Structure 1
Amino acid sequence: MSLVGNMMSPDMIVKDCRGKEFYAFGTHRIFDQRARKLQLYRTWITFLGIITPLFVGGVVLSFGTESKVLPWVITVVGIIGLVQLVLSAFSIVSRWDEKYEYALDSSRGNTDLYNRFKFLADNAPADLEVQYKDAIRENEAREFKDLGQGITEKEKRFANREALKYYRKPCSICSITPTNSKPSKCDGCGNF
């Protein structure tokens, strides 16, 4: 529901900013985690693509082309190379590069929203309503984009746990305040 057109008291705006700050932090953590995971996968694919021919070349330079080890090395490296090719093809079809770039963009955007809502809630500037409306419009646009990225229920629980841990608040379901990122058995702040 859009709050831009509704009249709200400064106290209500500050309270809503605190809620938006909480959710922006959690959403940042979802996309930060996605970006880190995709970066790791992309790094391994690149590493395998570079190390495979380098390793064969290093064996040939060290032991020569007549070495009895070379056929074994070529077989093992060939299998690794095939795995790397399959992973590379999968990463292209799955659009890992696009997903990585989007995750970075969303992480940055949600961090900016977190900072804006935190500033508004902490400082309640004279033009609070104007800045709030601008932040709400930006938040709605970011939320609309993020919804197209298929955020799972597990990711939502992860985001909730991360935000509860950061803000040192208890979960509304299990009443426990998370102190680490390790998932619990709770359906509100765990099971991810």
Structure 2
Amino acid sequence: MRNLTIDGRALRLDPSVAHTLCYAYLQRFYVSSCDKDSPHLRSNQIMEIPTPGALKMGRKVGLMDPPMGSLNREGTVRMAANQRAQQCWDRACDCFATAKIFERRARAYRSKLDLLSYLGIGVPAVFGAMVAAWGKDVLTNRPLMFLVASLGVVQVAISVASIIRKWPEEYAYANRSAATNYQLADAFKTLAPNVIIASPEMNNELQNLIARDQAQTQNDTEKHVSESEKSWGHRHALRQFQRSCANCNTVPTDIKPSSCSQCGAFK
């Protein structure tokens, strides 16, 4: 037992209780006597007072140390915020890769449709101009007529392929998908630094973006993206966001095939 004098009265207390009371008094006195402008209150000069539990553990705990429960809560919140931000960056990278894939498809369909238009308009126009200039003698020129007939056969074949493979519809979808995925990538990239703030507005915005991304991904999956296209788009995204490949651990600096099966398996 220890003697402790409070307001002139002597009390006999257990040593652990006495130490706890002294610790609480000193902590309250020190914090209340130092304001934010006091030279005594510095981050690198924190007063330390041993707590009863700390004495048993053989260590000291500073006055400015937050409770362990607070640390656990803050750590959990920070971890969740980091996970949300990482999710935004991952989805931005995936959306950018998908946008590149369908942008490439749109260019390919545009070239095919342009060729079909040139053949459909150019061949009859040129033949008509030749007949108007040279008269019916053109019809007796067998090499020229063979060339015109060959171009006509090619035009018919491309027209049939365009109808069967639905080039106009595929071209329109590829343009829409590229534009939508670019918008989603920009939205996720913009939201990533702000989603660290755990607010209902940010959570709702994130969930709405995820729902839009999932719907777009489902539509894009129906277009049968090949593994070669995925690797090509993935390499574009890694270079754009300066990320290293999970397989070869390198950050791509160009869009060339490599030995990596994940970011370089394309032609």
TM-score by length of 1: 0.90
Bigger helix share: 1
1:69 Cα deviation from its structure 2 partner: 6.8
Show structure 2 runs of 5+ residues with no match.
Answer: 1-76
Question: d(CA) in 2 for partners of 1:158 and 1:80?
Answer: 34
AA matched with 2:111: L
Q: Tell which has more relative contact order, 1 or 2 (C-alpha 8 A, sep 6+).
A: 1
Question: d(CA) in 2 for partners of 1:175 and 1:47?
Answer: 46
Show structure 1 runs of 5+ residues with no match.
Answer: 1-6
- Change in Cα spacing, 1:15 to 1:68, as seen in structure 2 (3 Å) is closer
Query: Which residue does the alignment assign to 2:252?
Result: 178
Contact 1:60 1:70 in 2 (8 A): no
1:37 aligns with 2:108: yes
Cα-Cα RMSD: 1.9
SS at match of 1:72: helix
Question: d(CA) in 2 for partners of 1:69 and 1:158?
Answer: 52
**Alignment match of 1:129 (pick from 197, 203, 209):** 203
1:179 Cα deviation from its structure 2 partner: 1.6
Query: Which residue does the alignment assign to 1:88?
Result: 159
1:13 aligns with 2:87: no
Superposition pairs of residues 1-192 of structure 1, within 5 angstroms: 9-67=80-138, 70-124=141-195, 126=199, 127-192=201-266
Contact 1:56 1:74 in 2 (8 A): no
Question: d(CA) in 2 for partners of 1:190 and 1:83?
Answer: 35
Question: Deviations along 1:124-164, whole A, 9 cap, x unmatched?
Answer: 36521110011011111111111111011111101111101
SS at match of 2:137: coil
1:68 Cα deviation from its structure 2 partner: 7.5
Question: d(CA) in 1 for partners of 2:138 and 2:100?
Answer: 51
Question: d(CA) in 1 for partners of 2:186 and 2:237?
Answer: 14
Answer with 1 or 2: which has the greater Rg: 2
AA matched with 1:130: N
Question: Deviations along 1:55-84, whole A, 9 cap, x unmatched?
Answer: 111212222222477432222011111111
SS at match of 2:229: helix
TM-score by length of 2: 0.66
Question: d(CA) in 1 for partners of 2:213 and 2:138?
Answer: 63
